[in-house]
Amino acid sequence: MKILPAVAATLFALAVWQTIVSLTELPRFILPGPMLVAETWWTNRAVIAEHTLVTAQEVLLGLAIGTALGIFTALQLATSKTARLLVQPILVFTQALPVFALAPILTLWLGYGLWSKIAMAVLIIYFPVTSAFFDGLMRTPPGYLDLAKTMQASPSRVLWHIRVPAALPSLGAGVRLAAVYAPIGAVIGEWVGASKGLGYLMLLANGRAKTDLMFAAMLTLGVLSVLLYVVISKLTKSLGDRET
């Protein structure tokens, strides 16, 4: 039944969109109506599908690599005071750098293929996953740790049997956030330099004043992001329920 609020919200947004178009009577190249965008999407569905597959590949690989690196880094930070002293300040400093400014550098280093876009997605999601999982590892309920100390459990057993399971909800929250950010990173990379992908298609449509096609590509990206978020939420929830 949770799908009903989403459908109602979508219909409401489309109604508001159509109302604005009808009242303002703006030219199609400035603000196309939802019906025109839907028609354009259907007419160009093969092209949009081709570019969607490219962006989806970039997003999924970036999400997988970024999550793995985030988990590894969080474990190192949680188990090593030296790592917290040396690495944690660097992680915080990197968040002050504008990610958009790094995209041209990554394109220069990695070329115009998939890897520069994957690297961009990894950079955007790496910190949220690391930060969320690290916070979870450092906030293990004291009662669990006291019991482990009483039982004379080794640090590795405490980590893998107590701290990591207790931190899984925090990791799930970080991965869900990463699922929203990953498409943004991929599209930013495509804007800087690409020959395929939804970001490239949006730039191409905008340069040719095909605003309806640009909206169709943008909405497709939005649907892709929502679907990815829903799938990740289901997976993290099932893993959390299994642990409990």
Tokens of 28: 């199609």
Mean pLDDT, residues 224-243: 80
How much of the chain exceeds pLDDT 90, in percent? 56
Read off the pLDDT of residues 61-86 as tens digits, 9 standing for 90 and up: 999 999 999 999 999 999 999 999 98
**What's 210's DSSP letter?**
-
Read off the pLDDT of residues 38-47 as tens digits, 9 standing for 90 and up: 999 999 999 9
pLDDT of residue 145: 83
Question: Which of 210, 215, 226, 202 has its CA nearest to residue 51?
Answer: 202
pLDDT of residue 1: 45
Q: How confident is the model at residue 6 (pLDDT cuts 50, 70, 90)?
A: confident
pLDDT of residue 4: 78
Tokens of 215: 């909206």
- DSSP H helices in the chain: 3-24, 34-43, 45-79, 81-86, 88-94, 99-110, 114-138, 142-150, 155-158, 164-192, 198-207, 211-243
pLDDT of residue 241: 57
pLDDT of residue 240: 59
Residue boundaries of the structural domains of the chain: 1-28, 32-243
Domain 32-243 class in CATH? mainly alpha
Mean pLDDT, residues 19-39: 89
The whole-angstrom separation of Cα 170 and Cα 133 is 5
CA angle 156, 157, 162 (to 5 degrees): 115
* CA distance readout (Å), 117 to 35, 66, 107, 187: 32, 12, 8, 7
Mean pLDDT, residues 188-217: 92
Tokens of 6: 């989403």
57-66 b/e (C-beta count within 10 Å ≥ 16 → b): bbbebbbebb
The whole-angstrom separation of Cα 221 and Cα 181 is 12
Q: In the chain, what is the straight-line distance between the N-terminal and C-terminal CA atoms, in Å?
A: 25
> At which residue do the structure tokens 């980590």 appear?
159
Kindly report the average pLDDT of the chain as a whole number.
89
**Residues in Cβ contact with 131 at an 8 Å cutoff, skipping those fewer than 6 apart:** 74, 91, 174
pLDDT of residue 153: 84
